[in-house]
Amino acid sequence: MKPSFEKLEHLLHGYKTESVALVARASEFAERAHEGQLRESGVSYFHHTFATALILAEWRMPPAIIAAGFLHDVPEDTKFSLGDIEKNFGKDIASIVEGETKLSSLKYRGRERYAENLRKMFFAIAKDLRVVIVKFADRIDNLKTLDIFPEEKRRRIALETLEIYAPIANRLGMGDAKGQLEDLAFPHVYPKEHEWLTKLIEGKLEEKSQRMEKVQRIARDELGRAKIQVVNLHGRTKRLYSLYRKLIKRDRDLSRVYDLIALRVIVKTTADCYAVLGVIHNRFKPLKGRIKDYIAQPKPNGYRSLHTTVFSDDGEIVEFQVRTEEMHEDAEYGVAAHWRYDEGRRSAAPSARQLKWMEELARIQKELHDREAFLETVDELKIDFFKNRIFIFTPKLRNHAFTLYNQAVHDRTGD
Ligand code: MN
């Protein structure tokens, strides 16, 4: 498989000439640096960095981030150093690449109770949200070539994705990244469940979307009559892993999941969102307790939309999700929406949500910094350190603690 330069070129359509030139220069540099290198999958190393950059271009990230995507494995895996990158691409891009290298030594070993610590460390090490964005693209591509690894390694990487990467993407409101990470990791962590679910929904999606066509047509007509400008009205299919999580909560009963496919209405203004809700409720009977106003009360990760579930004329249960274009972009890209390449709609000033995240990041970093001993551990990145040790701070309990310690070490070496 060859890298598709045409595709990249197409994605960079609308970028300034000098932006495209920067990306091209990073691509050439990475190709030269990784020349002749094959990954364990047998695919060229350059292909991986190309694929990473392509994902970043799909998210419409600025040229510096796409360039960093091309260069992210250079210092670690080639004869070129971070200094070389700085010389050729400047301090800013070099600092993103440095973050990637540092982050790559953070590994999750499958111990649930350390997951939150690791998520915090991930932030502390990344320092810059752009580093996190590039890391997500890198991980998404790595998950696509996981098959060649032995089962244990595959499982570890996929589990780390579900426990560390996806929750962080979720907290950053990056719905698209979270969804891709989860769906790619899912079959490796829960192969049997994945197979079960794939079989369960086989054919169901087609069937459901056909039954929803009529509702969609009626909704479109009604909204037209009400003179509401609809930017887009489409059916969206629930992501597989997210569906799996919901099914588990619903006793694995698919008929109790109402948003297998939902109808998404995108409009111009917040006032239009409420107007759409009015039109829908006037035409279709809403289900009790299923109206959710995430515009007035956004989810903790900033998600905004109106949700409602209604009965169609044929008794079909259909969920509607109503939002503005900006809310839609925020739901897909979260904090990364701020960096989306000049589309003329957003100002350069950070959004309220972006600021909230900068504050949160600063808070996490301060918290970790205050616990200096902990931070030294972060710096050394000897995460395994936690694995076989227990720390006891109470002198009085020393004897008892010693027993516990031995017991714990014994337990762990046993598993
Ligand atoms: Mn990589």
Which of 2-6, 285-289, 368-372 is predicted least confidently? Answer: 368-372
Backbone angles phi, psi at 311, to 5 degrees: -95, 130
Residue 46 burial (C-beta neighbours within 10 Å; 0-12, 13-18, 19+): buried
Task: Give me the residue label for tokens 């030269």.
Answer: 32
Which of 36-50, 132-146, 149-163, 177-191 is predicted least confidently? Answer: 36-50
248 closest CA partner among 194, 307, 290: 194
Give the residue, 274 or 123, on which the prediction is more confident. Answer: 274
* Residue 324 pLDDT: 97
Q: Give yes or no for residue 110 having a pLDDT over 80.
A: no
Give the residue, 175 or 384, on which the prediction is more confident. Answer: 175
Which one is catalytic: 31, 77, 84, 325? 77
Q: Give yes or no for residue 68 having a pLDDT over 90.
A: yes
Q: Give yes or no for residue 409 having a pLDDT over 50.
A: no
* Residue 104 pLDDT: 84
pLDDT in tens, 187-232: 999 999 999 999 999 989 888 888 899 999 999 999 999 999 999 9
Residue 247 burial (C-beta neighbours within 10 Å; 0-12, 13-18, 19+): buried
Specify whether 319 is catalytic: no
Specify whether 76 is catalytic: yes
Tokens of 194: 């994945």
- Tell how far the Cα of 380 is from the centroid of ligand 1, in angstroms: 21
Task: Give me the residue label for tokens 């200094």.
Answer: 83
Query: Is the CB of residue 338 less than 8 Å from the CB of residue 346?
Result: yes
* Residue 121 pLDDT: 77
- Tell how far the Cα of 229 is from the centroid of ligand 1, in angstroms: 43
* Residue 8 pLDDT: 94
DSSP 314: T
All domains of the chain in start order, with CATH: 6-190+387-393 (1.10.3210.10), 196-339 (3.30.460.10)
pLDDT in tens, 294-306: 999 998 888 999 9
